[in-house]
A and B are shown apart, each in its own frame.
Chain A
Amino acid sequence: MQNGTKTKKHVSFTLNGESVEVAFAPHKTLLEVLREDLGLTGTKHGCELGECGTCTVLVDGRSILSCLMLGLDAEGREVTTIEGMADGAELHPLQQTFADLGAAQCGYCSPGFLLAAKELLERNSKPTRDEIKETLSGNLCRCTGYIKIYEAVELAAARMRGEEFELPRESVYGCE
Chain B
Amino acid sequence: MKDRIVNSIGFGLLALCFVVAIARIGLKDFGRPAEEGRKPVTVRVAHWQLEGGVRDAFDAMAKEYMAANPGVRVEQLPVPEKIFTNWLITQLVGGTAPDIIELGHGMNEERKARYFVPMSDLVDLPNPHNAGTELERVPLRDTFFDGMESCFSQELLEYYGMPLSGFTVRIYYNRDLLRDITGGEKIPQTYEELVALCRLTIEFAKRTGRSVFPIAGSKYNSPILLDRLSSSQTADLSDRVAYDFLANRQSASLLAEGYRTKEWSLESPEIDASMALMRDLGQYMQPGFMQLMRDDASFYFVQGKALMIASGSWDATSIRDQSDFRISVGPIPVPSPGGDPRWPYSKGPLADASANAGVVMAITRESEHPDVALDFLYFMASKKGNQLWSDVSGWLPSVVGVRPSEEIAAFAPFLDGYMGGFALTFSGADGVRIYRNAINRLVSPQGSVESFRETFGKELRGAMEEDLRRLSLGAVKIAQRNDTLLAALAVLADSGDDRDAAKLDLLLQSAAGNDYAARRTPSVWRSFQNK
Q: Do A and B bind each other?
A: no
| Contact surface of A with B, Cβ cutoff 8 Å | none
